[in-house]
Chain A
Amino acid sequence: MNRPVKPEDTGTILKVVGTRPIRPDGVEKVTGRAAYGADLHLPGMLIGKVKRSPHAHARIISIDTRKALALPGVKAVMTSADMPNLAAEHYEAGESASNLKDLSANVMARGKVLYHGHAVAAVAATSNAIADQALDLIEIVYETLPHVIDVEEAMAPDAPILHDQMFTAGLGETPTKASNIATKHRLDRGDVAAGFAAADVIVETRYSSAAVHQGYIEPHACVASYAADGQTQVWSSSQGHFVIRGLCAKLLKMRFSDVRVIPAEIGGGFGGKTTVYLEPLALVLSQKSGHPVKMVMTREEVFRATGPTSASVVTVKMGAKNDGTITAAQVDLKFQAGAFAGSPVGAAVMTSLACYDVANFEITGWDVVTNSPKVAAYRAPGAPNAALGVECAVDELAERLGMDPMAIREKNAVRDGVRAPYGPIYKNIGYVETLEAIKSHPHMSIPLGPNQGRGIAAGFWFNIGGESTVNLSINEDGTAIVSTGSPDIGGSRASMAMMAAEVLGIGVEQVRPIVADTASIGFSTVTGGSRTTFATGMAVVQAAEKLVIDLKRRAAETWGVDQDQVVWQDGAAHCLQAGKAPKGALTLAALAGSAGKTGGPIATVVALNAQGAGPGFGVHVCDVEVDPETGHVTVLRYTAAQDVGKAIHPAYVEGQIQGGVAQGIGWALNEEYVFSTGGVMENAGFLDYRVPVASDLPMIDAVMVEVPNPAHPYGAKGVGEVPIVPPLAALAIAVRHATGVRMHDLPLSPSKIRAAIDANAG
């Protein structure tokens, strides 16, 4: 039986973990000194810019760059002809496997442009203005082709085909006709027909959501400097500089050792900065020009050419007995992948029913290419779209059964020992505790007024572990440096320093955390998948434990006693053998000061592939008020409970939950890619792509349910992704109860709500 963690569960009283110290990189960030991707300036640096497709789908007949190259101040012009023409190759990097051929064609179009804004050429010049003029001088002849953006239209047999060589995988046999459907995913268990036959009530419903962007405030930015000897340096704002290195080296056929990627501070990523867009182009331009090249996207380019997440259509058929027991579920998920295969529909298939103990189910997923930007990972990729359909269906079921929405979730809740729909048997999960936290929360007893409604929804995400390297060294004065290869996108420097300080028994202010470049530390994969505090944190703890063993050895030698006669406590070695340590305990500072006499510098490396990341569950409740005349939705209050394992730095865990909820609210209410009939995004800016502003939101009550993850020394698990999963459904359900109308298509914009209310009034 799970229960909230208490200090005694970890065997010792924690002094640092669980407290709220000021983050070590905080002062730099509140004084404007922190250097982000666009803040670097190098001598002789050029400005690089990208020429982008004016068409949603077209064949490139010719590109003439001569006039651009002839413009004074222009130092280099490139096209896909300047990049290796790679064969299709599966490469594990970033959030998921990449097909290098597709990735290469996405950063620079080859043969065809597949979406409006697709990169076709790039220039490097001595000023912004000259670079802009040069772009205008590049002459490109296109043969336009019919395009398709809507996911269901793209699946139609007569749809314009993006890739002549794409044949749907997962159908059993290989089809003979090319299709926009890259892959059919399938997961099933039990006997669905029998399950529905045993049901007293069956609901069949359909929910769609528009493409939305991660919306990080910092546009993509990098500086590349290619040296004559082939050694290069890249300063880049990303969620994983090792992945930037790997992708650049693979795309440009360079030695990994020749590509040194230095992590700039990153201004938000949310999954969207786990791949390359500008870096390979900047490298080619730097090589061709012999100068460092800075490339910074405009906000418009960020919307037009970097990964949004998938628009999706989710249909759900679900049956239950009168007592609320869900007997069968059928889920069909259609996901827009953008210009190249690889939507997160696979994860959507796996997560869609992850909160429910259902004996019989069939889940089908469709990965569909469309003439829109290639989707990129976005916080729990795929899970929010799936949860929208499933959680709303569960709410419809509860309504038909006259059952409390919390009760039906408790009735069918997964627990330890239950086989997850995606396969394994659940262990040490905190879903029931999270449901309980909401059930007993004061929010649930606040009475609602007219035109107000309450929505409850649950959500799930796996969380991952993965590869991390940590260098931990003790300075001569006993302070410590902990270096990792994990970019800090939301306070991870603080949690790394805290875990090291906890083990070493020193104050967190005595530990300096560093994010080291690709030439200064071993491989570490991206800060994403909610892995860093768990996986890199595990490496930090192991490194500190190794040092403590070494420190005890050094103390034992100093005192001439056996190592088992030495204990490490409060940052010092203590001798158990009477009379052997006349001067008392040996502090870390003392041992560090005399390190040369006990074997030299005190330092260690831990490199691991962390396993056993615990899955996370969230249960959210939100209250809205809908203006029945304008259809405008006001979010009155929001409470989000989450199974967080053990919060290392609770303030940043709350921050992850609050931030995820805010993004989910934006996704539900106002965010969407609006395309013209010509396939051009019409709202490529923060004016008309409406992310939530401060006055749109209430305070967001983040409730941390601590069910420790036994795979982590302090019980930590990922927390960053779960909170964006429930809000889409929670908002849709709350609007339904406020208006009496079920809205099936996100975003829940005022005009749609007013139209639905009018239609309902008949």
Chain B
Amino acid sequence: MALVIADYADCRALTGGLRSFEVEASTVRDLLHQIEARFPGLGDLIDQRMAIAIDGVITQDAHGAALAPQSEVVLLPKIGGG
């Protein structure tokens, strides 16, 4: 089970205040589907507006990225720059 950390307020608004939860998923794509199923709207929010850090490495739109059974997945806003 991957541990998902959703510290940002706009995520918590969709998890009913839950800051972390576990999901059985082997890829990011899989993860998004399951999150959307469990917290309607959150999967889409992540897909459109957020980045996903997998075990400390920030990814953006990396649907194919693999998740290990004990992976820690942190949801955070997408990042731009100058």
Contact = CB atoms under 8 A, between A and B. Distances in A.
Is any CB of A less than 8 Å from a CB of B in the complex? yes
Interface of A: 90, 94-97, 169-170, 172, 184-189, 214, 270-272, 274, 344, 346-347, 350, 377-381, 422-427, 461-466, 528-531, 609, 611-613, 711, 718, 720-721
B22 interface: no
B56 A528 contact: no
Interface in B63-78: 65, 72, 74-78
B16 interface: no
A207 to B, nearest CB: 21
Given A94-B80, A424-B58, 8 more contacts: A95-B81, A188-B7, A377-B82, A381-B80, A462-B58, A530-B81, A609-B61, A611-B65
Contacts of B82: 95, 214, 270-272, 274, 377-381, 528-529, 720-721
Interface in B43-65: 48-49, 53, 55-62, 65
A611 B57 contact: yes
B13 interface: yes
Contacts of B9: 170, 184-187
7 contacts: A377-B82, A423-B5, A426-B56, A611-B57, A611-B65, A612-B59, A718-B81
Contacts of A350: 76-77, 79
A95 B7 CA distance: 23
B76 A464 contact: no
B52 to A, nearest CB: 9
B7 A466 contact: no
A379 B82 CA distance: 4
Nearest to A273: B82
B24 interface: no
Contact of B80 (A170, A186, A189, A528): A528
Interface of B: 5, 7-10, 13, 48-49, 53, 55-62, 65, 72, 74-82
Contact of A609 (B48, B56, B60): B60
Contacts of A214: 82
The 6 closest A-B pairs by CB, nearest first: A529-B81, A271-B82, A424-B53, A95-B80, A186-B9, A423-B74
Given A90-B48, A170-B10, A423-B53, A380 B81 contact: yes
A170 B77 CA distance: 14
A528 B48 contact: no
A671 to B, nearest CB: 16
B73 to A, nearest CB: 9
Contact of B49 (A97, A170, A270, A528): A97
A377 B80 contact: yes
Contact of B56 (A170, A172, A427, A465): A427
Contacts of B49: 97
A613 B58 contact: yes
Nearest to B58: A424
Nearest to B72: A425
A344 B79 CA distance: 10
B12 to A, nearest CB: 9
Contacts of B10: 169-170
A170 B45 CA distance: 14
Contact of B78 (A96, A424, A612): A96
Most central of B75, B78, B80 by chain A CB within 10 Å: B80
B78 to A, nearest CB: 7
A427 B72 CA distance: 13
Most central of A347, A424, A611 by chain B CB within 10 Å: A424
Contacts of B53: 423-424
Contacts of B75: 423
A96 B48 CA distance: 11
Contacts of A96: 78, 80
B57 A612 contact: yes
A464 B80 contact: yes
A381 B81 CA distance: 6
B51 to A, nearest CB: 9
A189 B7 contact: yes
B9 to A, nearest CB: 4
A187 B56 CA distance: 18
A724 to B, nearest CB: 8
A422 B80 contact: no
A149 B59 CA distance: 37
Contacts of A94: 80
Contacts of B60: 464-466, 609, 611
A462 B79 contact: yes
A462 B13 contact: no
Nearest to B61: A609
A346 B55 CA distance: 22
A119 to B, nearest CB: 23
Contacts of B8: 186-187, 423
B61 A531 contact: no
Nearest to B75: A423
A609 B79 contact: no
B59 to A, nearest CB: 4
Contacts of A612: 57-59
Nearest to A718: B81
Given A423-B7, A609-B60, A609-B61, A463 B74 contact: no
A612 B51 CA distance: 11
Contacts of A380: 81-82
A461 B81 contact: yes
Contact of B62 (A272, A427, A611): A611
A711 B57 contact: yes
A41 B56 CA distance: 50
A718 B81 CA distance: 11
A380 B7 CA distance: 23
B56 A424 contact: yes
A529 B79 contact: yes
B66 to A, nearest CB: 12
B80 A611 contact: no
Contacts of B61: 609
Contacts of B79: 347, 350, 462, 464, 529
Contact of B81 (A188, A346, A463, A611): A463
Contacts of B81: 95, 271, 377, 380-381, 461-464, 528-531, 718, 721
Nearest to A271: B82
A186 B11 CA distance: 11
B31 to A, nearest CB: 15
A367 to B, nearest CB: 12
Most central of A189, A270, A423 by chain B CB within 10 Å: A423
A719 B7 CA distance: 28
A381 B80 CA distance: 8
Nearest to A351: B79
B4 to A, nearest CB: 11
Contacts of B13: 172
A422 B76 contact: yes
Nearest to B79: A462
Most central of B57, B59, B61 by chain A CB within 10 Å: B57
